[in-house]
Structure 1
């Protein structure tokens, strides 16, 4: 039996990924969804501020769901995702913490390890 850690991680279906606050996700899956969702509103601000504001409000739930699951992978509170509400510094905290930091290799109270 091979005791090395697999670099393939379990993938979550799209609806639970974007709308549920339960479970864990890895940094690649987080980055693949969080960065594009977070950048949707930027071009809209040049076209229509009100439309961009409405789209940003609609995207809050999926962005918080992604961030919560990513913090769960560190065995941390999902509430740390509120940092993404802080312009620039909050985004940097989330990007560095969630996109570049490896999660917990062991099972934790939020779910099984992604690296089994």
Structure 2
């Protein structure tokens, strides 16, 4: 999934909390949020000189943060689903440092390769039985 497709997916699924999201979808959306925040800060510093870069958030930054909040929560929920965790685990973000480190590790991890309780593998790859070739049981002839 490319940058544009990931952003489009996250913005169209802004209230979709079920299903799974690949790492590329999640991290491209994080990059999009960073770029939009930088652009909003620059616009605020030009249009509203009272707000300096690095100071308090200006109205454009505030508006972009509000608009991107729900899609961000939704894609994080779907990303956690990809590693078979409940979306509620993103509340760890409210625990400084330890929670952030745990969330970073979880969002970097590769998702489960097979269907889990939250849906099918978003990569769509059929890579054999869940435990590997040793778990393969050939069908019995009748």
Q: TM-score, normalised by structure 1?
A: 0.69
Q: Does 1:110 align with 2:106?
A: no
How many equivalent pairs are there? 105
Give matches, 1:21-32, under 5 Å: 21-32=17-28
The question of whether the paired residues in 1 share the 8 Å contact of 2:92 and 2:100 is answered with yes
The question of whether the paired residues in 1 share the 8 Å contact of 2:83 and 2:106 is answered with no
User: Compared with structure 1, are the counterparts of its residues 89 and 54 closer, same or farther at alpha carbon in structure 2 (3 Å cutoff)?
Assistant: farther
User: Compared with structure 1, are the counterparts of its residues 93 and 67 closer, same or farther at alpha carbon in structure 2 (3 Å cutoff)?
Assistant: same
- Which of 1 and 2 has higher RCO (CA within 8 Å, sep 6+)? 1
Larger radius of gyration: 2
Give matches, 1:77-96, under 5 Å: 77-84=86-93, 91-96=100-105
Counterpart Cα distance in 2 of 1:39 and 1:70: 21
Corresponding residue of 1:76: 85
Q: Does 1:37 align with 2:46?
A: no
Q: Which moved more, 1:39-48 or 1:102-111?
A: 39-48
Q: TM-score, normalised by structure 2?
A: 0.58
Unmatched tracts of structure 1, length 5 or more: 1-7
The question of whether the paired residues in 2 share the 8 Å contact of 1:30 and 1:66 is answered with yes
Cα deviation digits, residues 9-31 of structure 1 (max 9, x gap): xx886212x33111101111211
